[in-house]
Amino acid sequence: MLNNYSTEDKVLLAVDCIIFGFDEESLKILLIKRDFEPEKGKWSLIGGFLKKEETLDIAAIRILNHLTGFQDIYMEQLYTFSKVDRDPVERTISTAYYALINIAEHDKELIQKYSAKWFDIAEAPKLIFDHDEMLDKAIKRLRYRASTKPIGFELLPQKFTMRQLQKLYEAILAEKLDKRNFINRINSFDVLVKLNEKDMKSSRKGSYLYMFDKNRYDKKVLNGFTFKI
Amino acid sequence: MLNNYSTEDKVLLAVDCIIFGFDEESLKILLIKRDFEPEKGKWSLIGGFLKKEETLDIAAIRILNHLTGFQDIYMEQLYTFSKVDRDPVERTISTAYYALINIAEHDKELIQKYSAKWFDIAEAPKLIFDHDEMLDKAIKRLRYRASTKPIGFELLPQKFTMRQLQKLYEAILAEKLDKRNFINRINSFDVLVKLNEKDMKSSRKGSYLYMFDKNRYDKKVLNGFTFKI
DNA sequence: ACAAAAGTGTTATTTCTACACCCATGC
DNA sequence: GCATGGGTGTAGAAATAACACTTTTGT
């Protein structure tokens, strides 16, 4: 006997993306104003539906790329939300992903076309459906992941200052960090390259730029190193 | 305009459960021998399909209860697996859950009826579809969760010895722990109650039994305590 | 009396935390 | 010359890791 599953229920499977960015001061998320019912005019995560021939990862990439034009974005699957009435139109399950993008480099035109807007995570409006719950979980996951894997760099330009990196971690972890302890720890990891180049925007003195050396990091991981902030 | 999603693809959504148990020596998982095609006769996680009127959590509980007769089981959603050809019969997405159960207390009859069997995680057979990947992820998640939240107790009888607890953590973390350091740490948490009762099975001398005091733990959490092994 | 597991504290090492002053530059 | 943010090291505290002998009791 071959089980063909024909008596089982089928459902709509959505993908919603929490898109994080960082603007030198605070952690932001990208939201769009819904232009269709239900909840037209309210703020929402970007989302779409899984197509039959796609994996969830591919769908998340497609949906994100459609809005931002971005390729090669750090994404991670977060959780699958399944409250029965979460979408009033029809039974829909949604798998949430979060993405980290470098605000400075993203495609502003596309974002404007979709009336998307960056919000400080502390000042985000109420979102539709269960998107607030998704955001909440995404922030927690980001906090854990960023203190355990060197993913923070995804939110910064390729070249960044120590101060930017510190501010980023302060924004993610929502706590102040000691400047000297932070720098000492980062340096102890030995995964940054200090450039002979300064960023002159932030101060008269200027501050040295650094780059993350992924190769060096990967090699260290093979030897048992773990990143831990 | 109301978007009724009618042009979107619908898919089958399965739920698969990684059921962990502990037998005083090693961490085990419960597997069943599939009695239908495809892959009939091979070992598999237990699973089923989400019904339209259920959440994933409820579906996972239903599926688990159906096999084990158990209620009140610790479960956590793990990840949603969506490779396009993961199930050769039909496009199926699967959300995996893992569960922790106390082997000694579970319903043996039901398990036998479904030709389920406990396997040491180190000796588990190759599983169908992407179930090996699920298992792998579940072990990693369990490792993290158990070192961060007091969920290990779910795998033990209500009354247990320090030595059982230590062996459990050694099995989960897959590393030897120092007996004195382990006991000192556990005691420093102050969330166990030492009973005036000994387990005499393990040695001539007998060893004291303990119980986890969930109330005390919850109160401590409110005051900022975090469990960390 | 001896085998087998239970129980028990101290010290050295490592990691973490707190903390303050000089530097370079543009105005 | 002064205001602004950048850069740098150390010492005390806390947490972790290493380590060995005595106890109990059934045989």
- DSSP string over B83-102: -TTSSSSS-EEEEEEEEE--
Q: Average pLDDT, stretch B2-19? A: 90
Whole-number Å distance between alpha carbons of A118 and A115: 10
Query: pLDDT tens digits for A130-157?
Result: 999 999 999 999 999 999 999 999 999 9
Same domain, yes or no: A63 and A126 = yes
Helix or strand holding residue A68 (H, E): helix A56-68
Same domain, yes or no: B68 and B142 = yes
What is the pLDDT, as a whole number, of residue A3?
63
Are B2 and A87 in contact by the 8 Å Cβ rule? The answer is no
User: Residue B229: inside a domain, yes or no?
Assistant: no
Query: Which of A80, A83, A87, A90 should be substituted to probe chain B, the one whose Cβ sees the most B Cβ atoms within 10 Å?
Result: A80
B interface with A, Cβ–Cβ < 8 A, is 1-5, 8-13, 36-38, 49-57, 77, 79-80, 82-84, 89-93, 95
Q: Average pLDDT, stretch B16-21? A: 98
Respond yes or no on whether the N-terminal peptide bond of residue A150 is cis (omega within 30° of 0). Answer: no
Query: Which of B4, B7, B11, B90 should be substituted to probe chain A, the one whose Cβ sees the most A Cβ atoms within 10 Å?
Result: B11
User: Residue B153: inside a domain, yes or no?
Assistant: no
User: Residue A171: inside a domain, yes or no?
Assistant: yes
What is the pLDDT, as a whole number, of residue A1?
47
Q: Average pLDDT, stretch A52-57? A: 97
User: Residue A137: inside a domain, yes or no?
Assistant: yes
Q: How many domains does chain B have?
A: 2
**Nucleotide D17 C1' to residue B181 CA (A):** 8
- With beta carbons under 8 A apart, name residues in chain A contacting B83: 55
Count of residues for chain B? Answer: 229
Domain boundary among A148, A178, A195: A148
Are A134 and A16 in contact by the 8 Å Cβ rule? The answer is yes
Examine the pLDDT at B3 and tell me if it is beyond 80. Answer: no
Domain boundary among A148, A168, A185: A148
CA A208 vs. chain centroid, Å, equals 26
Say which amino acid occupies A73: I
Q: Which CA distances in Å does B17 have to B29, B47, B88, B98, B139?
A: 10, 6, 19, 5, 12
Query: pLDDT tens digits for B75-121?
Result: 999 999 999 999 999 999 999 999 999 988 877 777 877 789 999 99
Examine the pLDDT at B166 and tell me if it is beyond 60. Answer: yes
Q: Give every CB contact of residue B86 below 8 A, 6+ residues apart in sequence.
A: B92, B94, B129, B130
CB-CB: which of B38, B56, B82 is closest to A56? B82
Are B60 and A82 in contact by the 8 Å Cβ rule? The answer is no
Query: pLDDT tens digits for B130-153?
Result: 999 999 999 999 999 999 999 999
Question: Beta strands of B23-91 (E only): which ranges?
Answer: 27-33, 43-44, 46-49, 74-81
- Report the relative pairing of strands A10-22 and A92-100 from DSSP bridges: parallel
Examine the pLDDT at B2 and tell me if it is beyond 60. Answer: no
Same domain, yes or no: A134 and A38 = yes
**Nucleotide C9 C1' to residue A66 CA (A):** 63
Whole-number Å distance between alpha carbons of A97 and A214: 23
Examine the pLDDT at A106 and tell me if it is beyond 90. Answer: no
Q: Average pLDDT, stretch A88-104? A: 95
What is the pLDDT, as a whole number, of residue A153?
98
Q: Give every CB contact of residue A25 below 8 A, 6+ residues apart in sequence.
A: A167, A171
Domain extent, residue B124, equals 12-148
Examine the pLDDT at B174 and tell me if it is beyond 80. Answer: yes
Same domain, yes or no: B110 and B44 = yes
What is the pLDDT, as a whole number, of residue A37?
82
